[in-house]
């Protein structure tokens, strides 16, 4: 696979995950797809589909379209989920529990290798995946041992603590070498710029939805005093 050196926008990466999901669905029916069909499902233009994909290389066949299996493989590789990526979950409340026990929710390509909490009532308890909830205070040691014993370098975490603890917990993670955080809390994390944070704020999304629900008369907010 040939990858171009290029500035890649967040938008393109977001759509890449959508293409992957659509292609996995489409593969049940067909073995090929073209940019027009893909665009229709994506609610966009075929030009955008082709441009997005061409960011990463030439994957199509002129006159025919794209081989679905091939495209799935390529996008899978671009997103780095052709291998298994190790993740730790921090916080074992309702959210952390759901994430660790619902196998489907993280999707393929990710493996939970540690679950942490600061609550003594939870530490030591058996969680899903044959994992025991560990003391968050031992996270540095855990990461170090993983590196030494198995040569596994952990740098990705899912943050699922209560929002009051989010900032301080995140800082602790960063101190211990975590550089990628999926933030499931409502807290806006303020961390070093080279730490990549992706926010997953359910309440914010619900607020968005509610805005559009209220202002759904196509076009939209009336002038009112």
Partner DNA sequence: TAGATTGTTAATCGATTAACAATC
11 binds, among DNA, a copy of itself, none (CB under 5 to 8 A by kind): DNA
Cβ distance 221 to 211 under 8 Å?
Answer: no
User: Which 111-140 positions form the footprint of a copy of itself (CB under 8 A)?
Assistant: none
* Closer residue to DNA, CB minimum distance, 61 or 162: 61
Host H or E run for residue 170: helix 163-175
Hey, what long-range contacts does 2-8 have (CB within 8 A, 24 or more apart)? 2/57, 2/58, 3/56, 3/57, 3/78, 4/55, 4/56, 4/57, 6/55, 8/55
Among 53, 71, 127, 155, binds a copy of itself (CB under 8 A): 155
Among 78, 112, 154, 173, binds a copy of itself (CB under 8 A): 78
Among 72, 81, 131, 174, binds a copy of itself (CB under 8 A): 81
Please indicate if the annotation marks 57 as binding a ligand: no
Please indicate if the annotation marks 146 as binding a ligand: no
User: Which 2-21 positions form the footprint of a copy of itself (CB under 8 A)?
Assistant: 2-8, 10, 13-14, 16-18, 20-21
- The distance of Cα 200 from the centroid of its chain, to the nearest Å, equals 9
Residue-wise DSSP of 97-147 = HHHHH-HHHH-TTEEEEEEEES-TTTTT-B-GGG-BEEEGGGHHHHHHHHH
Residue numbers at the binding site for DNA (CB under 7 A): 9, 11-12, 34-36, 44-48, 50-51, 53-54, 58-66
Q: Which stretch binds a copy of itself (CB under 8 A): 64-72, 85-93, 111-119, 129-137?
A: 85-93
Give the annotated binding-site residues. Answer: 91-96
Give the annotated binding-site residues for NAD(+). Answer: 91-96
């Amino acid at each position: 696979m040939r990858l171009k050196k290029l500035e890649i926008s967040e938008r393109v990466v977001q759509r890449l995950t959508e293409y992957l999901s659509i292609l996995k669905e489409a593969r049940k029916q067909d073995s090929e797809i073209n940019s027009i069909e893909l665009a229709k499902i994506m609610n966009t233009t075929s030009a955008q589909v082709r441009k997005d994909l061409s960011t990463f290389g030439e994957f199509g066949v002129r006159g025919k379209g794209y081989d679905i299996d091939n495209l799935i493989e390529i996008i899978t590789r671009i997103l780095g989920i052709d291998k298994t990526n190790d993740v730790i979950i921090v916080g074992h409340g309702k959210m952390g529990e759901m994430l660790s026990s619902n196998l489907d929710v993280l999707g393929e390509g990710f493996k939970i290798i540690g679950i942490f909490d600061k609550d003594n009532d939870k530490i030591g308890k058996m969680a899903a995946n044959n994992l025991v909830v560990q003391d968050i205070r031992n996270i540095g040691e855990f990461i170090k041992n993983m590196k030494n014993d198995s040569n596994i370098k952990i740098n990705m975490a899912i943050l699922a603590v209560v929002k009051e603890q989010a900032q301080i917990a995140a800082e602790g993670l960063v101190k211990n070498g975590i550089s990628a955080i999926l933030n499931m809390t409502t807290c806006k994390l303020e961390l070093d710029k080279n730490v990549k944070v992706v926010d997953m704020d359910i309440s914010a999304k619900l607020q968005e939805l509610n805005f559009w629900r209220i202002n759904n008369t196509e076009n939209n907010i009336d002038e009112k005093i």
